[in-house]
């Protein structure tokens, strides 16, 4: 049920040639049914202007906030700040895919033909927490103020400062300092979230009850296939195996087993056999190389000859191109269950990630309609679903890999009540689940604080919420996590 929008910031037109920036805001009232309960809520779509210490405008941040209406004491009501990653992604994915009261209507793999539609989201977390979706600068409708360069916001540290200032401003304006607080981020949003929670604690004294990390990357060494770094070859292998199992490319003996049993075998191989072999480098005998190549072929569906030619090291894009080469198909990076068709079957790199284009079209169309028609936020400017900033991004890690895992360790040590929820998909080749396990096991937490980490795994890809059973599992586990964090 939706009522007509009201614009709460109608302001007189200025006579100046260059009018000053003005904040915009619309509010609409709705209801959503979750677990058989009708939840009345207010949706606020708007912009905040962030200023420096001298009062000069730096940037305009767009957000959409959902607050439950039938609440007696707002100070006791949890609030969750949500964002995606990229770097350069708007928050639309978590917003319309997982957490918000409205979600995209789609089949399991997003294979739905236009025109696209939204539907009520019975898996939303709005029954247990208010939610604020944030678009960082250069994503969504968020942008630098006139005279400010976008590049000034395109870096790990500046991004955290900007998003952190928005959260401080929102909490202050809406009198939410007493509220229990949560952060949730996806992909690079888990990097941002782990750094942000430390930043807010140190700079503003703002402590959080929970941090929710979806498709985790905290240590970029685990993902970088750079010369001399053998870590990714080890950590991606179980996801290669899961992918080959899904596409029926493994030997019959493995194909007959449940995925969990197959993954247990390949994980043991990585730890007991593959790791010491890569450590030895050129010291391996030819006999040992052939034995390992045979085992890697067993777990990947690739040929032993191809693996030997690759020096026992399978780079991600070689794998996505080679696994189904005989079928003239590629597999996805974000979700390796998807398949694509390139111009030819040769080469080492797919033309596009087959798990991305259909989802982009689906989310772009539905959000552009939703924000204007249902939320009443009118703006002619383009809503930037994805701004490809990764190659331009300043990761702030000179001569090393960005690693925010120690920031997370430090924050948990300083705030022992902080609980951390982790979710990864088995078919995610962007942030593999075994890399997350490695990162968790190397946080350096004291034994009594390790129980603060709550990890969960899903038979899905990077955006596991496009898989209906995984979305239902996520909803159940996140509501339990929020309750546990508050307790």
Q: Tens digit of pLDDT for each residue in 220-237? A: 999 999 999 999 999 999
Alpha carbon distance 270, 231 (integer Å):
11
Alpha carbon distance 187, 68 (integer Å):
27
∠ CA 308-310-316, nearest 5°, is 130
Q: What pLDDT digit, counting tens, does each position of 30-44 carry?
A: 999 999 999 999 999
DSSP assigned state of 353: -
Q: Is the pLDDT of residue 113 over 90?
A: no
What single string gives the DSSP state of each residue in 252-264? HHHHTS-HHHHHH
Alpha carbon distance 470, 227 (integer Å):
36
Please answer whether residues 259 and 245 qualify as being in contact, where contact means their C-beta atoms are separated by less than 8 angstroms: yes
Alpha carbon distance 116, 113 (integer Å):
7
Tokens encoding 79: 């609030």
Tokens encoding 401: 């890999």
Domain boundaries, the chain: 6-221+359-486, 225-340
Instruction: Tell me the fold of 6-221+359-486.
Output: Rossmann fold (3.40.50)
Closest CA to 116 of 140, 92, 86: 92
Beta bridge partners of 80: 131, 182
Q: What pLDDT digit, counting tens, does each position of 357-412 carry?
A: 888 999 999 999 999 999 999 989 999 999 988 888 999 876 689 999 999 999 99
Please answer whether residues 49 and 57 qualify as being in contact, where contact means their C-beta atoms are separated by less than 8 angstroms: yes
What single string gives the DSSP state of each residue in 387-435? ---GGG-B---TTS--B-HHHHHHHHHH-TT-EEEEEEETT-SSS-HHH
Alpha carbon distance 353, 356 (integer Å):
6
**Number of residues written out for the chain:** 487
∠ CA 460-320-273, nearest 5°, is 85
Alpha carbon distance 346, 120 (integer Å):
44
Closest CA to 233 of 281, 190, 198: 281
Q: What pLDDT digit, counting tens, does each position of 272-319 carry?
A: 999 999 999 999 999 999 999 999 999 999 999 999 999 999 999 999
The rounded Cα 179 to chain-centroid distance in angstroms is: 25
Q: What pLDDT digit, counting tens, does each position of 63-110 carry?
A: 999 999 999 999 999 999 999 999 999 999 999 999 999 999 987 665
């Amino acid at each position: 049920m939706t009522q007509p929008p009201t614009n709460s910031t109608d302001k007189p037109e200025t006579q100046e040639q260059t009018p000053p920036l003005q904040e915009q805001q619309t509010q609409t009232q709705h209801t959503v049914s979750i677990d058989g309960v009708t939840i009345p809520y207010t949706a606020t779509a708007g912009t905040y202007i962030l200023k420096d210490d001298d009062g000069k405008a730096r940037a305009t941040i767009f957000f959409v906030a959902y607050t439950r209406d039938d609440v007696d004491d707002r100070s006791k009501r949890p609030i969750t700040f949500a964002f995606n990653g990229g770097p350069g992604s708007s928050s639309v994915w978590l917003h319309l895919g997982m957490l918000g009261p409205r979600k995209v209507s789609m089949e399991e793999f997003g294979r739905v033909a236009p025109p696209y539609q939204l539907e009520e989201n019975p898996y939303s977390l709005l029954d247990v927490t208010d939610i604020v979706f944030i678009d960082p600068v250069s994503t969504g409708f968020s942008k630098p103020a006139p005279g400010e360069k976008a590049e000034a916001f395109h870096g790990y540290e500046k991004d955290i400062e900007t998003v952190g200032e928005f959260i401080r401003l929102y909490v202050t304006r809406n009198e939410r300092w007493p509220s229990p607080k949560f952060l949730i981020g996806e992909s690079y949003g888990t990097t941002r979230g782990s750094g942000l929670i430390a930043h807010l604690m140190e700079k503003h004294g703002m402590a959080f009850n929970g941090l929710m990390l979806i498709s985790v990357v905290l240590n970029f060494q685990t993902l970088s296939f750079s010369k001399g770094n053998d870590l990714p070859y080890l950590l991606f292998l179980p996801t290669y195996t899961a992918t080959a199992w899904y596409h029926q490319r493994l030997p019959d003996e493995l194909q007959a087993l449940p995925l969990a049993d197959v993954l247990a075998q390949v994980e043991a191989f990585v730890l007991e056999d593959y790791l010491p072999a890569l450590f030895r480098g050129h010291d391996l005998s030819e006999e040992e190389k052939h034995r390992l190549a045979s085992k890697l072929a067993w777990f990947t569906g690739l040929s032993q000859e191809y693996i030997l030619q690759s020096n026992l090291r399978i780079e991600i894009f070689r794998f996505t191109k080679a696994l189904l080469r005989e079928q003239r198909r590629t597999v996805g990076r974000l979700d390796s269950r998807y398949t694509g068709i390139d111009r030819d079957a040769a080469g080492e790199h797919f033309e596009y990630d087959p798990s991305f284009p259909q989802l982009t079209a689906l989310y772009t169309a539905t959000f552009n309609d939703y924000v204007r028609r249902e939320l009443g936020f009118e703006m002619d400017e383009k809503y930037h679903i994805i701004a490809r900033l990764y190659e331009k991004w300043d990761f702030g890690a000179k001569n090393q890999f960005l690693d925010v895992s120690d920031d997370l360790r430090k924050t948990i040590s300083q705030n022992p009540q902080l609980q951390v929820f982790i979710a990864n998909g088995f078919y995610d080749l962007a942030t593999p689940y075994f890399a997350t396990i490695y990162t968790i096991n190397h946080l350096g937490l004291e034994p009594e604080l390790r129980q603060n980490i709550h990890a969960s795994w899903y038979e899905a890809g990077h955006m596991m919420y496009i898989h209906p059973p995984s979305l239902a599992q996520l909803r159940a586990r996140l509501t339990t996590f929020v309750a546990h964090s508050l307790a």
